[in-house]
Amino acid sequence: MNPLTEQTRASMAEIIHRYPHKRSAIMPILHLAQSVQDEITPEGIAMVAEVLDLTTAEVNAVATFYTMYKRSPVGKHHIGICTNTLCALLGGDAVYDAVSERLGAGHNQTDVDGTFWLERIECQAACTHAPVMTVDWEFMDCQTPASAVEVIDRLARGEMVVSTRGPAIRDFQATEHTLAFPDDGLAGEGGEADAIMLAGLTVANQRGMSAPPATAQGA
Amino acid sequence: MPELPPAVRGFGVTFKTMFKKVVTEQYPEQADRFPPKPRFHGRHQLNRWPDGLEKCVGCELCAWACPADAILVEGADNTDTERFSPGERYGRVYQINYLRCIFCGLCIEACPTRALTMTNVYELADDNRADLIFEKSELLAPLLPGMIAPPHSMVPGTTEKDYYAGQVSGSVPEQEPDGDAAIWFEKQGYKA
Amino acid sequence: MTLAPHQTSVQPVDTVTVSVDGIEVRVPKGMLIIRVAELMGIEIPRFCDHPLLDPVAACRMCLIEIDGQGQPQPACAQTVTDGMVIKTQRTSELAKEAQEGVMEFLLLNHPLDCPVCDKGGECPLQNQAMTVGRPEARFDEKRRTFPKPINVSAQILLDRERCVSCARCTRFADQIAGDPMLELLERGAQQQVGIGPDAPFDSYYSGNTIQICPVGALTSSLYRFRSRPFDLVSTPTACEHCASGCALRTDVRRGVITRRLAWDDPEVNEDWNCDKGRFAFLYTADGRVETPLVREDGRLRVASWPEALDTAAHGLAAARGRAGVLTGGRLTREDAYAYAKFARLALGTNDIDFRNRVSGDEEAQFLASMVAGRRLGPTYSDLDHAPLVLLAGLETEDESPIIFLRLRKAVRSHGLRVQAISAVRTRSLDKLQASWWACQPGNEAWALRQIIDGPQGADALAGLRQPGAVILIGERLAGVPGALSAAAALADATGAKLGWVPRRAGERGALDAGALPGLLPGGRQVTDEGARAQVAAVWGVRSDVLPSRIGRSSSQVIAAIRSDAARADADSEPAVQALLVAGLDVEDSPEAGAFRQALDEVPFLVAVSTHHNEVTERADVVFPSAVVAEKAGGFTDWEGRVRSFGPAIRESSSVADGRILAMVADVMEVPFGTGDVASLRAELDSLTPSTVTRAAAPQVASSAAPTPESGYALLATWRLLLDRGRLQEGEPHLAATARPTEAVMSRATANSLGVANAATVTLSTARGSVTLPLAIGDVADGAVWAPLNSEGCALLGIGATYGSVVRVTGGAR
């Protein structure tokens, strides 16, 4: 595990400057700590608390509430497979089972050598492309058990894998860094919304539908 | 029919009674000829689990229920080296004052662990007050075969819930007073 | 931020008309529904709601129906609006069903611990499950369990599976105490109260969370399994630990105190108290003086009461006019008054002093002029409404914790500004968002003068001139020449209210009772003939019986004994023939060494004491007296408010000091009265309100603190709330939550002393040294802070006190 350095502290200070109140910066700063250490450690909690003038209990509360903060090392890649309603209907559980078998890991566990972290994730708002898998929070749309296992195999061999929406997969720590510093210049990578995503809007436009006016009661 | 003189008539009752069944009990010479009914409210008993640990958790609900204020309980913590009951708490002090007890049995109904029950023993007379306040040592049920006198550990691998679920059927060698309990005995100045 | 002056007149409030369960009421606008129902006597079940905490609607127990709103609403988070029609569970099936459902949910994972749970018998969950819960549970799955209990601090234990996630404890820690070290962790079914990694909940107010926990999730190491609520006999009492004046409830089981709780007193401590008041009561058990003792052939032996009374009476009678009385700051006002009366009537002396601490003539004059015998004020309520509070020589969290809570409440509710003249920017100042005027210890007088006529003081001066502004000064300013004079002058110049905050619970009461060389009860001066006549009339004696010369202070008495002994002239009469000492600790004295020698040298020493200590072991006669829990009495808090209490341990046969003195006086044939609490209180109360001629405020010029030479620093120090104080003995769990014993100085000071890289520093005086871990913090340059009386750091023992110059050397890292 990498130690937190003065450089990390300086980066944290940089994030704090984005917000009117120090404590508002807690979530990106936790992602930053996770990008360095691959998990949220007591050391990380202590540093975050220190830079934000919070108690470690307050930081602990946030770090344990949100599932994106991990309390054991994630490894090189985070694999998330949605098994919520639509993905489940379209085979999400089968994808999960296949990947789980391939990795020999269950929910919130890593494989034997600690490279992959597997997690059943909640809805990613990608129901149009169900069943969906995420690799380091990048979308792999419309997966089958075979395609998902293939993605894992290629990542395991160190091959370049590209998200079905464009961006190249880097690794978990790089994603975490992006969550701390979203302005990494990669926002343009990947495509526009495709026809499936916009299907509903297209139909609505064709039929001249519009949202009902807001009622006075709701205002 | 002429009336008999009243003095003689009075003996009629005597004669009739002579042929009735005798209800007098020869107590104490023949006390065991007339045992009390099974549900007779007699002296209390503090029960044990099959391995000898005490069932009493020191909750004092018996004392609370007692209309005669005859029961005194003080709870305390079990520790790893000094365990008297499964779980966290046990009754360190347990006294029943038989000068006050009215044998109503409300304490039995209040007991959440069935630690306290009543026996059929009714011979509770003494010549002084102090001896009629029964201590925990007098109230505890005798050790049956398979039981070890506390303090000792729970059966290894079990929790208090297993005791309540009836999963513990007796003591095991690991609970013998050569492990944790031996330390306690040593501390108390006993020789194991 | 605008600072509206405190409105003293009653303002008309906007009201709204609402109907609750068909009853129409007019209530102030903005009230919470649950409070309105309370006022009407309608009880809505609740767990998370607490009148002193912000609403959170976490437990959902208080759901009620409001006409026009489809879903049930939480009564604890909704304010009333005009025309609102509210139906509680009494009249609404919807509300009733909603509450039953919530209760069923809360009980899903709640363990069947009631028989072994400390809360069982006084548990809101138990009670409300009986009143609003369904009789049958439908849940037959496995319950969620946690290993239990876990320590959130050495004192506070947490059973997570009992928790209903009401967030009372976390909100208390954050909002009231300002110590958000307790938080809700995890989520969903795993949600649990917890702390940060390796960061225990060591708040001075942590015990309150146990009291407000509506289930048995939080318990104390001290009380766990000690008794059940129905065993306890409860007595309303007052706290003996400091001058905050908390109302407490003391629970006793068969003559033994099992716990103490904060008692609701909205005027003083509201619902809260500090951990010292809550957990430090075990001192009453061990080391007690149990019988009278008399010295025979150099050894103390057990004596009968008549024998001890005789011996004491003869020794004291022989010393009439040449006896001193030292009472200490821990006595109840009635007992202090008994000593004041006994000194004047039986010993014919004004040599009585309650100040077993740094003190002086300037302080005596200040107290006579500004504090003694005055009616209430400034009060907690004044703090609530003040626009500005200036603190000088007072660390509120350590020295008067309830003042801190009140200040924090005012800061949160209406933006009170707190300014502090202090050597250290302490955690409490941060929590009060106080502006910190760094002031070297000993420079407070100069700093206060600066506000009056210095160039930097204009802003503060204007602030203090606002109506309602308050100046609070601590007792340690007695050791800074000119500081009390400057504080009095500042209050005079601005019209701000001036509050003197002593540390010990009995100091203000002893002052009002006349336990000072220049004062009679009620702030009357001994030199004032009219005042003496008033007192003599109450005491039923001729007024010329009362000594008219100002007596000697404690340090003067000690000095007199020392010089008597030094003369070694057996023929001449000693200036002090006898000494009567009440419950005080010699080591609290700034001149403990001299005090000890004086106790050895004084020809006749009578000790009235609860515990064996350095005084009793040197005494010729020792009387056992009752601790606070065993007697009736009263303390006067820093406001001047009398906090009377009855005996908590009614089984006790111990005798209070006042009664002992009456028995001695009886043998001496001095008209003293019976000395029982009721008669002492009645006499004292009859002497309290008066038109007395007051002494003028002291006019001591301020001087600057000495400039320490290289290698030396000025010592800033006070007693931490939790330290090695005598009344905290016997409670290791409490002691384990104390703040660390360390020396704190600024980076600049550490650099100039050459200890910046040291792990430890040694503070030394001519009399000894202490070695402490070094911490860098916000401390005035040239000063070092260390606790006065903590484990491994007894500074009085090395002759160091506030403002002393100490040598600072670094230890190896």
For the whole prediction, is pTM greater than 0.90?
yes
* Average pLDDT of adjacent 10-residue blocks, chain A of 219 residues: 92 95 96 96 96 96 96 96 95 96 95 95 92 95 95 95 89 94 80 84 92 67
The ipTM value here is 0.90
Name the DSSP class of C458. H
Contact list in A for residue C196 (CB cut-off 8 A) is 45-46, 49, 55-60
Dihedrals φ, ψ of C500, to 5°? -100, 120
Nearby residues of C405 by Cβ (< 8 Å), 6 or more positions away: C176, C177, C205, C269, C270, C272
Judged against a pLDDT cut of 90, whether residue C616 lies above it is answered with yes
On whether the CB atoms of residues C589 and C357 are closer than 8 A, the answer is: yes
Instruction: Give the side-chain half-sphere CA count within 13 A for A196.
Output: 8
Confidence of residue C695 (pLDDT cuts 50, 70, 90): confident
pLDDT digits (tens, 9 = 90+) for B56-95: 999 999 999 999 999 999 999 998 889 999 999 999 999 9
Task: Tell how many helices (H) and how many strands (E) occur in chain B.
Answer: 6, 5
What is the DSSP code (8-state) at residue C229? Answer: G
How would residue C812 be classed by pLDDT, with cut points 50, 70 and 90?
low
DSSP 8-class letter at C686: H
Average pLDDT over residues B97-124: 95
Phi, psi of C542 (to 5 degrees): -70, 145
Could you tell me the two tokens for A203?
Answer: 């139909």
Q: So what's the pLDDT on residue C568? A: 65
| Dihedral (CA of C272, C276, C282, C288) sign | negative
pLDDT attached to residue C681: 96
As beta bridge partners, residue C520 has C524
Q: Is the pLDDT of residue B146 over 90?
A: no
Contact between residue C16 and residue C32 where contact means Cβ atoms under 8 Å apart = no
Among chain A residues, CA nearest to C179: A55
The pLDDT of residue A219 is 40
| pLDDT given at position C1 | 37
pLDDT in tens, C256-313: 999 999 999 999 999 999 999 999 999 988 899 999 999 999 999 999 999 999 999 9
Pairing of strands B71-77, B89-97: antiparallel
Contact between B60 and B94 (Cβ < 8 Å) = no
**In A, which residues are within 8 Å of C201 by CB distance?**
57
Cβ neighbours, 10 Å, residue C21: 17
**Cross-chain residue pair A55–C185, CB shorter than 8 Å:** no
Q: Do B75 and C226 touch (CB under 8 A)?
A: yes
Residue boundaries of the structural domains of chain A:
6-65, 77-170
In 3D, which of A17, A41, A18 has the Cα closest to residue A30?
Answer: A41
- CB-closest option in B63, B74, B88 to C116: B88
Q: Is C32 left (phi over 0), alpha (psi -120 to 50) or beta?
A: beta
Residue of C151, C224, C225 best to disrupt the B interface, most CBs of B under 10 A: C225
Interface of A with C (CB under 8 A): 42, 45-46, 49, 54-61, 64-65, 67
- The domains of chain C, with CATH numbers, are 15-108 (3.10.20.740), 114-119+138-284 (3.30.70.20), 293-354+508-687 (3.40.50.740), 368-503 (3.40.228.10), 712-810 (2.40.40.20)
Q: How many CB pairs under 8 A join B and C?
A: 37
What are the angstrom distances between the C-alpha of C800 and each of C173, C359, C763, C782? 35, 14, 9, 16
Closest to C716 in 3D by CA, of C328, C330, C420: C420
| b/e burial code for range C773-808 (CB count within 10 A of at least 16 → b) | ebeeebbbebbbbbbbbbeebbbbebbbbbbbbbbb
- Is the Cβ pair A61, C199 closer than 8 Å? no
Give the span between the Cα atoms of C468 and C487, in whole angstroms. 16
pLDDT of C47 higher than 60? yes
**Does any CB of chain A come closer than 8 Å to the CB of residue C150?**
no
C-alpha span between C159 and C364 (Å, rounded):
52
Q: Does the domain formed by A6-65 have CATH 1.10.10?
A: yes
* Chain C nearest C-alpha distance from A55 (Å): 6
CB spacing of C183 vs A60 below 8 angstroms: yes
Q: Chain B interface residues facing chain C, Cβ-Cβ under 8 Å?
A: 57-61, 63-64, 74-77, 87-89, 112-113
The beta-strand segments (E) located in C397-496 are 417-422, 435-438, 470-474
Q: What is the mean pLDDT of chain B?
A: 88
Q: How far apart are CA C112 and CA A138, in angstroms?
A: 47
In this structure, what are the phi and psi dihedrals at residue C435, rounded to the nearest 5 degrees? -85, 135
CB–CB contact C185 A58 (8 Å): no
| Residue linked to tokens 């200490």 | C328
pLDDT value of residue A218: 45
Q: With contacts defined as CB-CB under 8 Å, which chain C residues touch B59? A: 115-116, 120, 228
CATH homologous superfamily of A77-170 equals Glutaredoxin (3.40.30.10)
Nearest residue in chain B measured CA to CA from C119:
B59
- Please indicate whether, in this complex, the C-beta atoms of C180 and A56 are within 8 angstroms of each other: no
User: C4: pLDDT confidence band, cut at 50, 70 and 90?
Assistant: very low
Chains that touch A (3 or more CB pairs under 8 A): C
Please classify residue A18 by burial: count the beta carbons closer than 10 Å to its beta carbon, then call 0-12 exposed, 13-18 middle and 19+ buried: exposed
Please give the share of chain C, as a percent, with pLDDT higher than 70.
98
CA dihedral C550, C552, C554, C556 (to 10 degrees): 150
Q: Are C598 and C615 in contact (CB under 8 A)?
A: no
ω into B28 cis (within 30 of 0): yes
| Chain B: residue whose CA lies nearest to C226 | B75
Per-position b or e across C306-344, b if 16+ CB within 10 A of its CB: eebbbbbbebbbebeebbbbbbbbbbbbbbbbbbbbbbb
Report CA torsion sign: C286, C291, C295, C297.
negative
Q: Residue C334 pLDDT more than 90?
A: yes
DSSP single-letter state for residue C574: P
Mutation for testing the C interface, residue in B55, B56, B59 having most C CBs under 10 Å: B59
